[in-house]
Structure 1
Amino acid sequence: MSWNWQQSDWPDFRWNEKTFAKAEAAFLRGAGVLIGSAKHLDEDARQQLVVDAMSVEALTTSEIEGEMLNRASVQSSIQRQLGFLSDRRKVQPAEQGISELMVDLYRGVDGALTENQLFAWHRMVVSGRTDLRDIGRYRTSDEPMQVVSGASYAPKVHFEAPPSTRVRKEMKRFLDWFNGTAPGMASALPPLTRAGIAHLYFESVHPFEDGNGRIGRVVAEKALVQGFGQPIIVALARSILAHHADYYRALEEANKTNDVTTWLRWFSAIALEAQYRTFAEIDFVIHKTKLLDQVRGRINARQEKVLLRMFREGPEGFEGGMSAKKYSIIAETAPATTTRDLAGLVGAGALIRSGELKHTRYALNIPVSNIPDISIDENGKLTFLI
């Protein structure tokens, strides 16, 4: 079996454009709605949306690679870099690096993608690592770059990238393609198609010793947002994480052919889902502002602290819901005080109570946005399942 880069038509990707006409139209309509919704937020809410969106993408793109980062540290780092008020906590190199990556993407989304930018992104992604030889440059090892699973005595090779001697040439061709297909260029491609191919193309070359997945997803996000015409973070990594097993299977199959129609069907559905997740984040910020205004002056400092902590978890909320035990830990209260505080929050309309006794849980009293599971069939029909 030969990999896509070993085939005679590499990298002349081909696909059925008609299959994605409806998806591309839906994405552009959604982009307009997103931009319009964001404009209705006040300055504080917009700042919160930007920080929250960047933080979630930073955390989830790292989690896809098995790296669990500290949410509060990532948020603090992003706030500092954007010049917003932060708690000035000490941030570890991995959290600082991925935060810098998200901020750099947001600030430079309109610019061309360059080799120097990719090298800077690589230094950010592997910040604090001491086990890599090639940091901030393309890989140079003579060993094959392979994605492998299974026992060492019987490994399964899911993919093998071009040898390091070919990487610089392949990446020059990739960058020329990426910048030449941007909006306004003679060879411009629709955003879903361009982002999907960009991600697959980058991952197929696998130019770095490590960090290719995170950088490749940022490349795809840059392509998506350039299609918007305005900077906004789309929840692409979060949607990929929700389907991470399918993600790796789809990439593995796509690495075997340069007909990318099947891959683009999968990726386009994920990108549309990411749009819906971003809608949900904007709605969450709007309802958070309304709820805090509603309870202002009616709750004490402990209750406000817990509410703000719950809001930090985003639209999904605490895993398993807020319990009396969690409240006591966050607010540092005795059981009797916890009971009074929670009852007060329910009475003020801030929380909704469910369950009884030890199964009692509390959730924020705001509408929940359902995220559809989207699929695109061979004829381009979009199906939305809630």
Structure 2
Amino acid sequence: MPGSRHGQIDRKVFPPVAYLWSKFVAQCNKETSMISDTLKSAFLEAITFDPIQRIATKREEQLPVDYFAFYQAISSVYSSKIEGENIDFDSFYKHKFLGVKYQSDYTKRSEDLFSAYVFIQKNPLTHDHVFQAHRILSKHLLPASQRGKIRTNPMFVINEDDRIEYVACAPEQVQGELNRFFNRVADLLATDLSALEVFFYAAQIHLVFVKIHPLQDGNGRTARLLEKWFLLEKLGPTAVSVELEKNYYTHRKDYYRNIRKIGLEYQTLDYSQALNFLLMTVNSLR
């Protein structure tokens, strides 16, 4: 009998059941770690105010322009600035609401991102709509063949010192990881959540997507868009006033540091280190 001596099983060929079970449990834990509840208790204990009340106070603001367009402009400018775009809110405001003309190169990418924020205000958060939003925001970022498409090549994130800072999900795994991601998002959209739970999961959606890094470019812009989108879906249209993009830009050193804490390679990420990142948006409403 292959793999046996005197009727005894060769453990090198047939590992003990306990070993196989431990491997199975480890794999299950890995597979369920995407957008998990692990840090929920710590997150909820850290918040001592009502974020919905803060959002409601903002809704009472008297603005000289459309309320939703104003905050969509803030989102698009600061999400662009995080990526190094040379744009400021004052100029974009004048361009968008006062008709001031600038060179198209100065405003076009922020304009594309503004269009994507308008899109998410009107459309439900689904797999297909996310890739449609990416096509919109990457109009002047990528060639048409790469807009709204997952990458098929390895991806590395390069830091300001021109060093590899992060090794993203392997190309052959991207589709499977995205399927898991969108299945989990769909489950959360169908689940009744408290306001604090909404902020908790929205930030995780942002973080997990940016760690998968499934697109050729525009991953950060899309991840921040997704966080806002989930807030809009679960809290309603006034969530547009949550200035998460501006907060991430203002605290961008913390933003990148908190993303790095999770790990430098996709295969070894540790989402138990994510609490500081998850608290950034909700704490901006204090």
The question of a shared fold, defined as TM-score above 0.5 by the shorter chain, is answered with yes
Once the two structures are superposed, the pairs formed by residues 220-259 of structure 1 within 5 Å of their partners are: 220-233=227-240, 234-255=242-263, 259=270
Equivalent pair of 2:258/2:277 in contact (CA under 8 Å): yes
Unpaired segments ≥5 residues, structure 1 = 1-6, 80-85, 277-386
1:246-289 residue CA offsets vs partner (Å, 9 max, x unmatched): 21121122135554343123331x2124324xxxxxxxxxxxxx
Q: Which has the higher helix share?
A: 2
Specify every segment of 5 or more residues in structure 2 that has no aligned partner in the other structure, as ranges.
1-25
How many residue pairs end up in the alignment? Answer: 250
List aligned pairs for 1:304-323, cutoff 5 A: none
Q: How far has the Cα of 1:88 moved from its partner?
A: 7.9
- Residue 31 of structure 1 corresponds to 52
CA shift digits 1:288-346 (9 cap, x unpaired): xxxxxxxxxxxxxxxxxxxxxxxxxxxxxxxxxxxxxxxxxxxxxxxxxxxxxxxxxxx
Q: 1:236 to 1:37 in 2, by over 3 A?
A: closer
User: What does residue range 1-386 of structure 1 map to in structure 2 within 5 Å?
Assistant: 8=27, 9-13=29-33, 15-23=38-46, 26=49, 29-35=50-56, 37-38=58-59, 40-41=60-61, 45=63, 47-69=65-87, 71=89, 74-75=92-93, 87=99, 89=101, 92-108=107-123, 111=124, 113-129=125-141, 133-141=145-153, 144-149=154-159, 156-182=163-189, 184=191, 190-233=197-240, 234-255=242-263, 259-268=270-279, 270-276=280-286
Q: 1:55-104 CA deviation, whole Å, 9 max, x = no partner?
A: 1211111111101236467447766xxxxxx5385755323211101212
Please give the secondary structure, in 2, of the residue aligned with 1:159.
Answer: strand
- 3-state SS of 1:255 partner: coil
1 or 2 for the larger relative contact order (CA 8 Å, sep ≥6)?
Answer: 2
Q: Identity over the aligned pairs, expressed in percent?
A: 20
* Displacement of 1:17: 2.8
Aligned twin of 1:335: none
- Counterpart code for 1:213: G
* Deviation readout 1:161-205 (Å, 9 max, x if unpaired): 12223222221211111121126359x991122012111110111
Q: Say if 2:202 and 2:230, in contact at 8 Å, map to a contact too.
A: yes
Change (3 A) 1:129 1:230: closer
- The residue number in structure 2 matching 1:4 is none
Q: Tell me, yes or no, if the aligned pair for 1:147 and 1:157 is still in contact at 8 Å.
A: yes
TM-score by length of 2: 0.74
Cα distance 1:156–1:10, how it changes in 2: closer, same or farther (>3 A)? farther
State the distance in 2 between where 1:130 and 1:230 align: 30
Distance 1:77 1:274, change over 3 A: farther
Q: Residue type of the partner of 1:216?
A: A
| Secondary structure, counterpart of 2:169 in structure 1 | coil
The alpha-carbon deviation at position 238 of structure 1 amounts to 0.8
Contact 2:203 2:277 in 1 (8 A): no
How far apart, in 2, do the equivalents of 1:179 and 1:46 lie?
37
Q: Which amino acid aligns with 1:210?
A: D
Separation of aligned partners in 2, 1:73 and 1:161? 35
TM-score (norm 1): 0.56
Q: CA deviation at 1:229?
A: 3.4
SS of 1:231 mapped into structure 2: helix
